[in-house]
Chains A and B, each alone.
Chain A
Amino acid sequence: AQTVTQSQPEMSVQEAETVTLSCTYDTSESNYYLFWYKQPPSRQMILVIRQEAYKQQNATENRFSVNFQKAAKSFSLKISDSQLGDTAMYFCAFMKLVGYSSASKIIFGSGTRLSIRP
Chain B
Amino acid sequence: GAVVSQHPSWVICKSGTSVKIECRSLDFQATTMFWYRQFPKQSLMLMATSNEGSKATYEQGVEKDKFLINHASLTLSTLTVTSAHPEDSSFYICSASPLTGELFFGEGSRLTVL
Binding site for B on A (CB under 8 A): 33, 35, 43-45, 47, 50, 52, 91, 95, 97-111, 113
Contact = CB atoms under 8 A, between A and B. Distances in A.
Contacts of B45: 108
A100 B44 contact: no
B107 interface: yes
B105 A104 contact: no
Given A45-B105, A111-B43, A100 B91 contact: no
B49 interface: yes
Contacts of A44: 105, 107-108
Contact of B96 (A43, A103, A107, A110): A103
A110 B43 contact: yes
Nearest to A102: B100
Nearest to B107: A44
Given A52-B101, A105-B34, 7 more contacts: A44-B105, A91-B44, A97-B100, A103-B30, A103-B100, A106-B95, A107-B46
Given A43-B108, A44-B108, A45-B93, A103 B42 contact: no
Interface in B64-114: 91, 93, 95-97, 99-101, 103, 105, 107-108
A99 B97 CA distance: 12
Contacts of B49: 105
Contact of B91 (A43, A99, A107, A113): A43
Contacts of B42: 110-111
A97 B103 CA distance: 12
A106 B91 contact: no
B103 A95 contact: yes
Residue of A101, A109, A110 contacting most chain B CB atoms (<10 Å):
A101
Given A43-B108, A45-B93, A105 B46 contact: yes
